[in-house]
Amino acid sequence: MQTKATSSSGVRRAYQVNEATTAYRLSRSTLYKLMSAGTLRSVKVGGRRLIPVEALEALIGGGDR
């Protein structure tokens, strides 16, 4: 069982919230505010909230801050 949100080829497709805070240097509260406002797309899988890499890249590339 894979513990990280990766594809079968090993390419990361999504981050858990705590992983995204480290990888993108954003606070947990900022990520949840962006998700709540609809600015940052996320999906709930079981008990985990996952943020697609594409959503984070779109935010960093030109999203509202």
pLDDT in tens, the chain (65 residues): 445 666 677 889 999 999 999 999 999 999 999 999 999 999 999 999 999 999 999 999 864 54
- Please tell me the predicted confidence (pLDDT) of residue 4: 61
pLDDT at 1: 42
Burial label for 55, CB within 10 Å (0-12, 13-18, 19+), is buried
Q: Which residue has the tokens 């959503």?
A: 55
pLDDT at 49: 97
Burial class of residue 53 (count of CB atoms within 10 Å of its CB; 0-12, 13-18, 19+):
middle
